[in-house]
Structure 1
Amino acid sequence: MGFSLKKFTDQASLITAAAADTVALINQAIRENGSAHVVLTGGSNGIGLLAALKDAEIADWSKVHVYFGDERNVPVTDPESNEGQAREALLGQVEIPEENIHGMKLGGVDLARAAQNYEELIGQVKEFDLHLLGMGGEGHINSLFPHTEAVAETQRLVVAVKNSPKPPAERVSLTLPAIARAKKVWLLVSGAEKAEAAQQVIDRADPAEWPAAGAEGKEETVLYLAP
């Protein structure tokens, strides 16, 4: 399990490189295991990467399964929905079967039940091939914010978040233990306002203070970083 840093001159080159690496990883997983299991992230880098995959040479989209690191408690049709944004950027443009898109099905439902249902679903996956992550300026990943019960969770794979400091307040999020189920964890980070948090990730700081520093893959953890 190693940590590495990939530096880029700007956001566009970061997204281009991460997209190329994602294509290679997916195709390798399909070739070696018959399927690929990838956890998607929102944000400008995460959605930018998905948009870059629209014309990618994926071996077989029917062998790709996608999941979501977190979701806001809104319907998929809401502009705030991570799944909705992913569908618009990529999933609605390629031939991935609907049953391979594993959404959280939020929007007017009981958050605790939704979290439990999603935990049962991802618990059936032996391991993710890749967990993509964005990061906030204070170091949050998924909906795991500093000094919260969610980031301190050590057992549950999925938790309900009812008081997110970043609106909307109600969300469902994969936890650090869920992230640790991935072979590879890639953080996509750009922007001067995230420089301090990025350094904390590099220094492997206390996840309670800087949640992104607690993101670790089984085989590798990579920080894709641009100013």
Structure 2
Amino acid sequence: MTKRVEVLADKPALIQRCLELILEKLHAAIAERGRFTLALSGGSTPKPLYEAMAQQDLPWDQIHVFWGDERYVPPDHPDSNEGMARAAWLNQVPIPAINIHPMPTDAADPAVAAQTHEQELRQFFQVQPGSFPGLDVILLGMGDDGHTASLFPHTEALLARHSLVTVGNKDGQPRLTFTVPFINQAHCVIFLVAGASKQPALAEIFAPVADEMTYPARLIQPQGELWWLLDQAAGENLSLA
């Protein structure tokens, strides 16, 4: 694993740096393999990034978009990660509908939906059960509590080791989420973190020793590149030694 940490002056600089990094990985992947696979994160921080992506002139038919996690709500719900990304970006560009791979949230049982998406992913990447495909880029955020995707502290989702997708849980509300081993198979993971409220969790995540079940973002150790992009408010007091 190659780990890089960058502290950017402010949120616009943070978004710009992330955009540059994604475009660099995108062009390299398409040149090498003929396609680019990207998993999106939810929350408010990446929205300007998606709006910036919508302004790019890209080979949309060679780009495939996934989500690292999803709240268990319909796509037209205000809390939907899919809905946000479609409004900010995907509805604005000529990307083929078949290249968009949202997490299904229409089954009565979220576990059934997780299994359905698992099968969709295995079919797309042509991998058998027990194997983990690697996305080109997985974009992640981090909560004030140290969670990432829908991998919340002290929840069962942190222990899923054999599946690509599992059910996360926040305050009794189900989510769908990529599992730790699936995220860690990525060629590149980019954390996009903004705000002073993230400082306490970041201190634990960057500490030599801390509890991974309490600070789940510590579990993200991809086989490829790991980028932590922080704005000044999040990263100013961080010890990177």
Q: If the TM-score is normalised by the length of the shorter chain, which range does it land in?
A: over 0.9
Aligned partner of 1:144: which letter?
A: L
* SS of residue in 2 equivalent to 1:92: helix
User: Which runs of 4 or more aligned residues in structure 1 lie more than 6 Å from their structure 2 counterparts after TM superposition?
Assistant: none
Return the alpha-carbon distance in structure 2 between the equivalents of residues 148 and 174 of structure 1. 14
Return the alpha-carbon distance in structure 2 between the equivalents of residues 147 and 76 of structure 1. 28
Asked whether the 8 Å contact 2:185–2:224 carries over to 1, the reply is no
2:156 is matched with 149
* SS of residue in 2 equivalent to 1:99: helix
Shift of 1:53: 0.8
1:40 is matched with 40
Larger radius of gyration: 2
**100-109 or 69-78: bigger deviation:** 100-109
CA deviation vs aligned residue, 1:176-204 (integer Å, no higher than 9, x gap): 11101211001000111101212223236
2:237 is matched with none
Shift of 1:152: 2.3
Return the alpha-carbon distance in structure 2 between the equivalents of residues 130 and 95 of structure 1. 21
Matches within 5 A, 1:105-184: 105-107=104-106, 109-124=108-123, 125=125, 126-161=133-168, 163-165=169-171, 169-184=173-188
Shift of 1:4: 1.4
* SS of residue in 2 equivalent to 1:4: strand
Shift of 1:108: 5.3
Question: Among the aligned pairs, what percent are the same residue?
Answer: 38
Shift of 1:107: 3.8
Return the alpha-carbon distance in structure 1 between the equivalents of residues 86 and 108 of structure 2. 21
Corresponding position: 1:218 with 2:223: yes
Asked whether the 8 Å contact 2:106–2:113 carries over to 1, the reply is no
Asked whether the 8 Å contact 2:6–2:230 carries over to 1, the reply is yes
Asked whether the 8 Å contact 1:156–1:175 carries over to 2, the reply is yes
Q: Could you list the runs of 5+ residues in structure 2 that have no partner in the other structure?
A: 126-132, 234-241
CA deviation vs aligned residue, 1:119-149 (integer Å, no higher than 9, x gap): 1222342320000001100011111101111
Aligned-residue CA RMSD (Å): 1.5
Return the alpha-carbon distance in structure 2 between the equivalents of residues 97 and 57 of structure 1. 15
- TM-score w.r.t. length of structure 2: 0.88
* SS of residue in 1 equivalent to 2:77: coil
2:207 is matched with 203
**39-48 or 142-151: bigger deviation:** 39-48
Return the alpha-carbon distance in structure 2 between the equivalents of residues 119 and 216 of structure 1. 21
Matches within 5 A, 1:4-153: 4-58=4-58, 60-107=59-106, 109-124=108-123, 125=125, 126-153=133-160
Asked whether the 8 Å contact 1:23–1:56 carries over to 2, the reply is no
* SS of residue in 2 equivalent to 1:38: strand
Asked whether the 8 Å contact 1:30–1:36 carries over to 2, the reply is yes
Return the alpha-carbon distance in structure 2 between the equivalents of residues 160 and 129 of structure 1. 23
* SS of residue in 2 equivalent to 1:67: strand
Asked whether the 8 Å contact 2:107–2:113 carries over to 1, the reply is no
Q: Could you list the runs of 5+ residues in structure 1 that have no partner in the other structure?
A: none
* SS of residue in 1 equivalent to 2:113: helix
CA deviation vs aligned residue, 1:23-47 (integer Å, no higher than 9, x gap): 1111111111100011100112222
**69-78 or 128-137: bigger deviation:** 69-78
Return the alpha-carbon distance in structure 1 between the equivalents of residues 203 and 98 of structure 2. 39
Aligned partner of 1:33: which letter?
A: R
Aligned partner of 1:217: which letter?
A: P
